[in-house]
Chain A
Amino acid sequence: MKFFMIAPYYLYWHYTRGLTELSKNLLNFIVFELHFFSIKELLLTLFSPFQRLKENYGNSIVDFENIASALVVNVIMRVVGFVVRSLILLVGFFAIMGTIFFAPILLILWILLPFVLLIFLVGAVWAYLTYQI
């Protein structure tokens, strides 16, 4: 019976500290996703060349061929950089959106969980007993 002594302590914890800690953990998860998908860094360097690869324009202003080829290379590098970064950003965006969507559901679930558990437990025991009869 001693075991059931825990119930009031548990319920108190579940709706006070338990709830706040869960919400904090959900927030942590969003912070983690921002870190994992490098959102800030990718946004700041969205149009930078891919891996800082670039061609020099040279010192001569009249060497049009060189300038043109360098220009083409550099534009391509920036386009490649943009495409790759956007892809990662997109995945990250969906992940964060998912978390933001599921967080309230989880919180509601947490609030209902003791009741759900109780109902299921009683249901299971009841089902077992009726089966016996």
Chain B
Amino acid sequence: MNYYKLQEYKKDVYPGIILDEILSYRFRKVMRKILLLLTCVSIIALLIPSQFLGSHLFLLRAVFMLFLCMYVGLILLEAMYRSCYFKKNKVDIRVLRILNTSKKNNDLTTLFLNHELGQYVMYRLGYAQSDIMDFLNTKKDIVTRHEFEIIENDDNEVSFAEFGYSLAHFDSDLSQFLRTHGVTVGDFKQTLEWVARMDQAIKEQERWWTLDNLLRIPSIGKSLAFGQVYNLERFGHNIVRDTAYVQLGEKWRTYKTSVRKLEAVLSKSVGGNILLTADAAYLTLDAIASLGKEIMQGTVLSNLENKRIYVLDVNILISSYGEKSEFETMFQTVLHEAAYAGNVILAIPNFGDFVQNTHSLGVDVKDIIREALQSSRLQVIATASERSFHEVLETDLDLMTHFEKLQLNEFDSYQAISILQQEVLYAENREHVFFTYQAVKRIVESADRYFAETSLLDKSVDILNEIIPVVKQQGEFVITQEHVDALVTSKTGISLGKISRDESKKLSNIAAEMKARVIGQDSAVEAVCEAMLRARTGLANPKRPLASFLFVGPTGVGKTETAKALAALFFKDEENMLRSDMSEYSDAEAVPRMIGDAGHVGVFASKVRQQGHGVLLLDEFEKASPDVHDLFLQIIDEGFFTDGRGEKVMMRNFIIIATSNAGSDLFALHVGTPVHKQEIVDHIISKHLLRSELLNRFDDVIVFESLLAHDTLLSIAHISVSKLVERLDRRGITLKETSELLQYLVKVGTNPVFGAREINRVITRELESKIAQALVLGDLFEGDTISFVVSSGEIEIQKYS
């Protein structure tokens, strides 16, 4: 739509446009307040007895009239503006207002950025007033109204967001300005939508006289026509009155489709019962609470007006009546009461579990409910998890004919951002802080990536509430992406966001540091470091684990050491490592043992949950059963798995390292020459050790060479001896390292098949036990200095005196 076409839609709202142009919205608001105050002051002045005022009384009356007239005049003008603002029009009045000020050669971007809302959009994106001024002063490209064209949305309407979005599309300077501050076009559009929606919501709220707003005021006298529910008050809670539920009902404020469906089913005159299923229980309860609030406000279909929703407290009912007949009588009474009251909707949470729990009492709850639904006008909302629905309820076809099933889905991240934006406004009003759009987006991203075990939205709101006091303590009030990153880092130990100078130094040294720890595996270490840099700079896929590797190579060449080094460098502590011997999971029952089932908690699942982040080392991965391999296929692909109880376990904060000594024979054959990666991969596939899909899922397959160079082995021996030196030093004994000792260790402790693993064993078995013997026999005391010598192939302690 071009400028001339847009002009056609100006007619109906023109008075509003010119008023806004002459007196801005903010100015009018302030003027109204001032004039109201002045009017009030002059009224008070008029109350002073006339003998004190004398001839001033006349003047005072004139001043009072003047203020009053101006005040009323402004209110009338505002009424006109509102009338235009809310007039249904194909083109948003705010767009027409900006275009109306434009002259022939004016730059539209400049006008947009000078408008209140345009500026506000930029503030939300983290720009300061000075940034905008600098940009406007140096701007070269000019978009005039003649060449400008608005990209319309699906309903052929031109909204404020579309206007700004089209500007960024046409004005290369503007899009460059956005890009240099790291704002994508998508971010820009979402912020425009947010600001426009907010502006409208505020103006809508101020119009208390519309029917919509008036009908939200609850009516009186209706409760007289309905019965009381004394027993249900004991064993249940009114969802809008009980304090336990006050917080609920907020999440669906923006996305109401599911609540609308719930409303439609319940307002049927016959058989309006519903079974809500969802993976997360809070979703169902929240949807019910949301409906409850709407009923209270009177904004529902007329059949649902005056209804009261009671949530049955199943646990209290069961614990109060442990005996079958007592329980049955009470439950039937409650159902009868609910039906007789005439306006009660009974919500039964976790219906599937309720059925199972009461089964042990010998009660058939399904039967009682079925009878109640047949013989009376009882209305029920039952909720259940997907799992319990399939296990307990779905099979009872007769009962299911009374219910309509509605599945509630978790919000995706786009929806979560919109909902969170709403929450942000409340928080801002309450706490006097200001969130940038990027901060809000990053909160949802982090919640999704780092804390997604429960609900995305709940976690996001948690972070939102947590970050406000933290930032306020620092004496700031604008909350940016960096604040969110810092908070997440402090909670997870994972570095996020922009790379600081210290960190960049550390990252560039990381390969060198790892090479110092892992001897003789330079190419393997480099490959790992490259992948880790990708993960840190955010280029890696956020929906997968931080990194995943398959380490292949003979035993004792440094695979485990590399994993430990990674844990130390990326998670600040070697302890941040979970180690699992996969040869234990080679049988058919392996997967239930790992992730648990309905009755048991899986070992692996609970360990991962407890740890939260770190390096996961899977030793001898190829020995695990094919089912376990499939499990890891999913984990590497999606970054989570579902445990035996149906709950998500996140693995996105882990570096997954599977090790394998598959092809040790290959390494033995290749003594002295390097083994190529492709050879190993072919070998693994041809021997059916791992499936090729799984192999392809790993970020990289890393080959560890046999440790054959004599120098390499000497360095490894040196590192191991240094550790012994340190241990002895703590006992007050000084050990001098000699080349003789190192040569001996290399000779005895290494071979082509087992690598350097034997070195540590030799140190324990021979050196340490010799020292221990000497200590026991009294040959060695604290403060002694010793070294080892080799005589006729045997190692012996030499003591310096």
A residues at B contact (CB < 8 Å): 2-3, 5-6, 9-10, 12-14, 17-18, 21, 25, 28-29, 31-32, 35-38, 41-42, 44-45, 48, 50-53, 81, 84-85, 88, 113, 117, 120-121, 123-125, 127-128, 131
Contact across chains for A13 and B83 when beta carbons are under 8 A apart: yes
Q: Min CB distance, B333 to chain A, in Å?
A: 14
The 6 closest A-B pairs by CB, nearest first: A52-B227, A127-B62, A124-B65, A9-B15, A32-B214, A124-B66
Flag if B215 contacts A131 (CB, 8 Å): no
Beta-carbon contacts under 8 Å, B207-249 to A: 209-211, 214-215, 217, 219-228
- Closest Cβ of chain B to A25, distance in Å, is 5
Given A10-B15, A41-B225, A117 contacting B72 (CB threshold 8 A): yes
Nearest residue (CB) in A for B86 is A21
With contacts defined as CB atoms under 8 Å apart, how many contacts are there between chain A and chain B in the complex? Answer: 125
Closest Cβ of chain A: how far from B41's Cβ, in Å? 16
B70 CB contacts on chain A under 8 angstroms: 121
A124-B66, A127-B62 known; A41 vs B221 contact (CB < 8 Å): yes
- Residues in B whose Cβ lies below 8 Å from that of A31: 211, 214-215
Q: Tell me if A9 and B224 are in contact (CB < 8 A).
A: no
Chain A residue with Cβ nearest B217: A36
Q: Which residue of A lies closest to B64 (CB)?
A: A124
Interface of A is mostly: helix
**Distance between A72 CB and nearest chain B CB, rounded to angstroms:** 20
Q: Is the CB of B221 within 8 A of A25?
A: no
Cross-chain contact A120 with B65 (CB below 8 angstroms): yes
The residue in chain B whose Cβ has the minimal distance to the Cβ of A89 is B221
CB distance from B28 to the nearest CB of A (A): 12
Q: Which residue of B lies closest to A20 (CB)?
A: B83
Chain B min CB distance to A115 (Å): 12
Report Cα–Cα, A50/B221, bound state, in Å: 11
Given the known interface contacts A9-B15, A31-B211, A117-B69, the answer about A18 and B80 at a Cβ–Cβ threshold of 8 Å is yes
B59 within 8 A of A: yes
Residues of chain B within 8 A of A3, CB atoms compared: 22-23
Query: Across the interface, do B83 and A21 meet the contact criterion of CB distance under 8 Å?
Result: yes
B73: CB under 8 A from chain A? yes
Q: In the complex where A3-B22, A117-B73 touch, is A38 in contact with B222 (Cβ < 8 A)?
A: yes
B interface residues (Cβ-Cβ under 8 A, vs A): 14-15, 18-19, 22-23, 58-59, 61-63, 65-66, 68-70, 72-73, 76-77, 79-80, 83, 209-211, 214-215, 217, 219-228, 298, 306, 340-342
Q: How far is the CB of A37 from chain B (nearest CB, A)?
A: 6
Instruction: Please give, as numbers and ranges, the residues of chain A lying within 8 Å of B209 by CB-CB distance.
Output: 25, 28-29
Residues of A with C-beta under 8 A to B59? 127-128, 131
A118 to chain B, nearest CB (A): 9
- CB distance A13 to B18 under 8 Å? no
Are B211 and A113 closer than 8 Å at their CB atoms?
no
**Knowing A6-B18, A25-B209, A131-B59 touch, does A52 contact B340 (C-beta < 8 A)?**
yes
Q: How far is the CA of A128 from the CA of B530 in the complex (A)?
A: 83
Residues of A close to B214: CB separation below 8 A: 28-29, 31-32, 35
Measured CA separation A85–B19 after assembly (Å): 49
* Contact assessment for B298 and A35 in the assembled complex, using a CB-CB cutoff below 8 Å: yes
**Contact yes or no, B79 A18, CB < 8 A:** yes
* Residue on A nearest B80 in the bound complex, by CB: A13
Give me 14 other A-B pairs in contact (C-beta within 8 A), A84-B224, A124-B69 excluded.
A10-B15, A13-B15, A14-B80, A28-B210, A29-B209, A31-B214, A32-B215, A36-B219, A36-B220, A41-B306, A42-B224, A121-B70, A121-B73, A124-B65
| A51, B227: Cα distance in complex, Å | 5
Q: What are the residues of chain B within 8 A of A53 when measuring CB–CB?
A: 227-228
**Given the complex of chains A and B, what is the CA–CA distance between A14 and B73 in angstroms?**
12
Closest B residue to A132 by beta carbon equals B59
Q: How far in angstroms is the closest Cβ of chain A from B59?
A: 5
Contacts of B228 in A (CB 8 A): 51-53
CA of A74 to CA of B710, assembled, Å: 105
Q: How far is the CB of B474 from chain A (nearest CB, A)?
A: 46
B221 engages A128 (CB within 8 Å):
no
Which of B22, B210, B224 meets A85, CB within 8 Å? B224
Contacts of A44 in B (CB 8 A): 225
Asked if B83 and A14 make an inter-chain contact with CB atoms under 8 angstroms apart, the answer reads: no
Which A residues touch B222, using CB under 8 A? 38, 41
B154 to chain A, nearest CB (A): 29
Inter-chain contacts of A32 with B (CB < 8 A)? 211, 214-215, 217
**In whole angstroms, what is the CA distance A113 to B228 when docked?**
51
Question: Which chain B residue lies CB-closest to A118?
Answer: B69
Measured between beta carbons, the chain B residues less than 8 angstroms from A17 are 83
With a CB–CB cut-off of 8 A, which chain B residues contact A36? 217, 219-220
Q: Assuming the A-B contacts A10-B80, A13-B15, A124-B66, are A2 and B210 also in contact, with contact meaning beta carbons closer than 8 angstroms in the complex?
A: no
Name the residue on A nearest B212 (C-beta).
A28
Return chain B residues, CB-CB under 8 Å to A127.
Answer: 58-59, 61-62, 65
> In the complex the two chains form, what is the Cα distance from A50 to B298 in whole Å?
23
- Given the known inter-chain contacts A31-B211, A51-B226, A128-B66, please indicate yes or no for A6 contacting B15, CB distance below 8 A: yes
Q: B18 near A51 (CB under 8 angstroms)?
A: no
- CB–CB B221/A88 < 8 A: yes
Distance (whole angstroms) from the CB of B20 to the closest CB of chain A: 11
How far apart sit A44 and B225, CA to CA, in the bound complex (Å)? 9
Do A10 and B227 touch (CB < 8 A)?
no
From B14, B76, B224, B306, A113 is in contact (CB under 8 Å) with: B76
Question: Chain A nearest CB: distance from B558 CB in Å?
Answer: 78
Complex: A44 Cα to B222 Cα, angstroms? 11
A78 vs B198: C-alpha distance when bound (angstroms)? 50
Contacts of A29 in B (CB 8 A): 209, 214
Q: How far is the CB of A119 from chain B (nearest CB, A)?
A: 9
User: How far, in whole Å, are A128 and B72 apart by their CA atoms in the complex?
Assistant: 20
Report whether A88 and B220 are in contact in the complex, using a CB–CB cutoff of 8 Å: yes
21 pairs across A/B with beta carbons < 8 Å?
A6-B22, A9-B14, A10-B77, A13-B15, A13-B83, A25-B209, A41-B306, A42-B224, A42-B225, A51-B223, A52-B227, A52-B228, A52-B342, A53-B228, A117-B72, A120-B68, A121-B69, A127-B58, A127-B61, A128-B63, A131-B58
